[in-house]
Structure 1
Amino acid sequence: MTIETDLLALEDQFWTGGPEAYIAHADASCLVVFAGMAAVMDRDAIAKTAEKGRWKDVRLTPTGFLQLAPSVAVVAYDAEATRKDGAAHKARVSSTYVKRDDGWKLAAHQQTEIAAEET
């Protein structure tokens, strides 16, 4: 496997898993950016927002990858998923990872919703 495929597999876990995915794979602090908010959050606070089953029919389409240093990498992708209430969701996403002694950890995550007319 490549670093890119490893990181995309972690991204899939964040979409389809619950709090345990964030406890295992988020860094101690993580910058999160969405349309309605931007904040540095600690791992436990992020995990509390991750209800298992909140997304289904998740499809991630890679759009970019850049390894900035041996221990820092950015993965970008388009995401399509269905919210648990049945609403469709499409977003352009990028996540930055840092390599720690116990593996790659999510350090920054940005998500921009793609309007239906853009697709």
Structure 2
Amino acid sequence: MADELWREERDFWLAGVAEAVRKLDETCVMAFAPTGILSRRKVVERLGAVPRWQEISMTDRAVVETNEVCVLAYRATARRSGADAYRALCTTTWIRRDGDWRILQHQQTPV
């Protein structure tokens, strides 16, 4: 299960907006410094307003999983076209809803 979710996590960073939005649970909440805490609605707005990432590296991976919930923790290095590398410590909580995995929570702490 964790291997599948690592692929989903990578796709969340790199996929188009519609695909990224499809992965969000209706109750999703995200926290970004300095942006703050965002509801699903605000996350969707922001995804449409910023360029998508071109590449992502996830290292120092850690996983906590049950049958219905999986938490991924990692160090991310991401790049957008023409921009410097972005580095952050991240966690994402995935929840199984009706057989599909959805993002319940995501947080990034820049390093």
**TM more than 0.5:** yes
Indicate the residue corresponding to 2:68 in structure 1. 71
Structure 1 distance, partners of 2:47, 2:7, is 17
Structure 2 distance, partners of 1:48, 1:21, is 14
**Percent identity of equivalent pairs:** 27
Query: Aligned to 1:5, which of 3, 6, 11?
Result: 3
Structure 1 distance, partners of 2:43, 2:102, is 13
Indicate the residue corresponding to 1:110 in structure 2. 107
Structure 2 distance, partners of 1:103, 1:59, is 25
Report the Cα offset of residue 31 of structure 1: 1.1
The alignment of Structure 1 onto Structure 2 pairs a total of residues equal to 109
Query: Aligned to 2:79, which of 64, 82, 88?
Result: 82
Structure 1 distance, partners of 2:85, 2:64, is 29
Structure 2 distance, partners of 1:75, 1:89, is 19
Considering only aligned residues, what root-mean-square deviation do their CA atoms show, in Å?
1.9
The range that moved more, 88-97 or 75-84, is 75-84
Change (3 A) 1:16 1:60: same
Q: Which runs of 5+ in 1 are unaligned?
A: 115-119
TM-score under structure 2 normalisation? 0.84
Structure 1 distance, partners of 2:32, 2:103, is 15
Indicate the residue corresponding to 1:61 in structure 2. 59
Contact 1:15 1:55 in 2 (8 A): yes
Structure 2 distance, partners of 1:30, 1:98, is 10
Q: Which runs of 5+ in 2 are unaligned?
A: none
Report the Cα offset of residue 53 of structure 1: 5.1
